[in-house]
Amino acid sequence: MAREKWASKLGFMLAAMGSAVGLGNIWRFSYVAGESGGGAFLILYLFFVLVIGVPLLLTEVSIGRKAQSDVIGSFAKLSPGTPWFLSGFFGVLASFLILSFYSVVAGWSMYYLWKYITGDFFSQPEGGYEAAFGGFISHAWQPLFWHAFFMVLTISIVYIGVKRGIEAANKIFMPTLAIILIGLAIYSVSLEGAVEGVKFLFQPDWSALSNPSVYLAAMGQAFFSLSLGMGAMLTYGSYLSKESKLPGATLGIGLMDTFFAVISGIVIFPAAFAFGISPGSGPPLVFITLPGIFEQMPVGGIVGLVFFFALTLASLSSSVSILEVPVAYFMRAFHWSRKMASILTGAIMFVLGLIVSLGFGIWSGFTPIGDRNIQGSMDFIASNILLPLGGLAMALFVGWYFKKSTALDATDLTGNPIGNIWYSIIKYIAPVLIILIFLNAVGILGM
Ligand code: PHE
């Protein structure tokens, strides 16, 4: 069977942006920034996106396009008879860990959408939004139901084939999400007491930089948000043909993704300070802050409805890219049909997600790594360790295993003055930085 292909370069761009923009920009960015001190974290994050993220994104997509295979197959095909293909397993493993909690949180977003459809959240429920959210995530079956719902949607789209399902919807809902976020940001900074939140995000407290875990968190966030190091972008790149030029496309994806993160920060932190919600509230942060903003806005109920609809779709265009990684691998390596691969892998992730979800309820006392609950622990291993390791392997592969001319050709940088900069980044700078941050963070694991 011939491998699938994007209809056009635009199709790839939309799918890749769809993969990048999702819960990572809004939900994860806000709570990780909030827990890691705000402004100083933001600067580190921007630094990692620009210096490691975008060059690695180009590298990752180019490996897939050159090899025309999945994350494990691509290494195997380009370096036959070597152990390089083993690095692809970081990605497949990360995809299981990430999608299992991603689907749970996307389920929360769907539940909120439902609460805005019914009008229940137009005004504060008894006890306030924070208590309502706490009650929901620890409820015996409600979050499991929405997690199942989201997983079924993800499996269905991957089963139909990513390009047919997701391209069209993204064309409409990414701009919608951007417009709502800009509107919310303006509203949020105008709230009384919002200045403290603006300061929190943009006035770095440099003392935060003395904590090694902040560097690890900022690097992990850059990888997670750019869908980097797992093979999602590699797999999407493998459905591209050689004619499309990559450098501009990957820079565009990086900038777009960063815009969504920063603007989300401008929505969340001013409002959090205005409402007296701690920026360090962790994963619930956006779910307890946003409804408060909607409640105060004129026609906020409708804005909330559209917002959670757009957020759910943005999550869906990310989750399909995560599921596509193991599906593409199982289809090639074990000759499974797309149907069987998507249902089986999706089912395993669903079960893992049940464990994640219960970790916010009856199993919340279970903290496998440090004081992190089940979701936090899985996220830590996947985002802060496996993704950077996967990215490191890709950088070393293209920087050291390929000849320079091959590397430049694969990324469409032959004869381009940027070529040398990109090449020294992926050959030296990115690997050294990633290793340094790992070494710096050794020892924080158990604390
Ligand atoms: N980048 C996605 C987001 O921000 C999540 C993701 C991570 C997707 C890793 C693919 C790979 O929501």
Contact between residue 410 and residue 402 where contact means Cβ atoms under 8 Å apart: yes
Task: Tell me the C-alpha distance between 146 and 439, whole Å.
Answer: 39
- What percentage of residues in the chain have a pLDDT greater than 70? 97
Q: Is the pLDDT of residue 108 over 80?
A: yes
Give me the mean pLDDT over the 396-423 stretch. Answer: 97
Backbone torsions φ then ψ of 442, nearest 5 degrees:
-60, 130
pLDDT band at residue 26, thresholds of 50, 70 and 90?
very high
- Ranking 64-68, 192-196, 310-314 by mean pLDDT, the lowest is 310-314
- 343-367 pLDDT, tens per residue? 999 999 999 999 999 999 999 999 9
Q: Separation of 299 CA from ligand 1 center, angstroms?
A: 31
- 119-175 pLDDT, tens per residue? 999 999 999 999 999 999 999 899 999 999 999 999 999 998 867 766 666 777 788
- Does residue 30 have its Cβ closer than 6 Å to ligand 1? no
Residue 6, pLDDT score: 85
Q: Which of 280, 313, 399 is nearest to 41 (CA)?
A: 280
Give me the mean pLDDT over the 53-82 stretch. Answer: 97
Which amino acid type is present at position 173? F
- Does residue 95 have its Cβ closer than 6 Å to ligand 1? no
Q: Separation of 67 CA from ligand 1 center, angstroms?
A: 22
- 278-314 pLDDT, tens per residue? 999 999 999 999 999 999 988 999 999 999 998 999 9
Q: Separation of 205 CA from ligand 1 center, angstroms?
A: 28
- Name the residue at shortest CA distance from atom 8 of ligand 1: 227
Task: Tell me the C-alpha distance between 37 and 205, whole Å.
Answer: 7
Give me the mean pLDDT over the 377-384 stretch. Answer: 96
- Closest atom, ligand 1, to C-alpha of 23: 12
Give domain status of residue 329, yes or no.
yes
Residue 246, pLDDT score: 93
Give domain status of residue 386, yes or no.
no
Give domain status of residue 186, yes or no.
yes
Residue 171, pLDDT score: 74
Take residue 275 and report the two structure tokens written for it: 């409402």
Q: What is the interface pTM, i.e. ipTM, of the complex? A: 0.98
Residue 173, pLDDT score: 77
The DSSP 8-state label assigned to residue 61 in this structure reads H
Q: Separation of 191 CA from ligand 1 center, angstroms?
A: 31
- 204-260 pLDDT, tens per residue? 999 999 998 999 999 999 999 999 999 999 999 999 988 778 999 999 999 999 999
Residue 166, pLDDT score: 62
372: helix, strand or coil: strand
Rounded to the nearest integer, the mean pLDDT of the chain is 94
Q: Is the pLDDT of residue 447 over 60?
A: no
**Could you give the maximum distance between any two Cα atoms of the chain, in Å?**
65
CA dihedral sign of residues 242, 243, 248, 250: negative
pLDDT band at residue 201, thresholds of 50, 70 and 90?
very high
Q: Given 3-state DSSP classes, what are the helix, strand and coil percentages for the chain, each rounded to the nearest 5?
A: 75, 0, 25
Q: Where are the beta strands (DSSP E) in 90-165?
A: none
- 160-171 pLDDT, tens per residue? 886 776 666 677
Q: Range of 280's domain?
A: 9-363
Q: How far is CA 424 from CA 47, 233, 325, 408, in A?
A: 17, 22, 28, 11
Give domain status of residue 379, yes or no.
no
Contact between residue 176 and residue 252 where contact means Cβ atoms under 8 Å apart: no
Give domain status of residue 150, yes or no.
yes
Q: Is the pLDDT of residue 446 over 60?
A: no
Take residue 320 and report the two structure tokens written for it: 């399909």
383 or 176: whose pLDDT is higher? 383
The DSSP 8-state label assigned to residue 400 in this structure reads I
Residue 2, pLDDT score: 67
Q: How many domains does the chain have?
A: 1
Give me the mean pLDDT over the 19-35 stretch. Answer: 97
pLDDT band at residue 90, thresholds of 50, 70 and 90?
very high
Task: Tell me the C-alpha distance between 296 and 279, whole Å.
Answer: 20
- Name the residue at shortest CA distance from atom 10 of ligand 1: 227
Task: Tell me the C-alpha distance between 75 and 398, whole Å.
Answer: 10
Q: Which of 220, 341, 250 is nearest to 64 (CA)?
A: 250
CA 3 to chain centroid, in Å, comes to 26
Give the CATH number, domain containing residue 114: 1.10.4160.10
Give domain status of residue 275, yes or no.
yes
Alpha-helix runs per DSSP H in 118-141: 128-137
Give domain status of residue 349, yes or no.
yes
Give domain status of residue 405, yes or no.
no
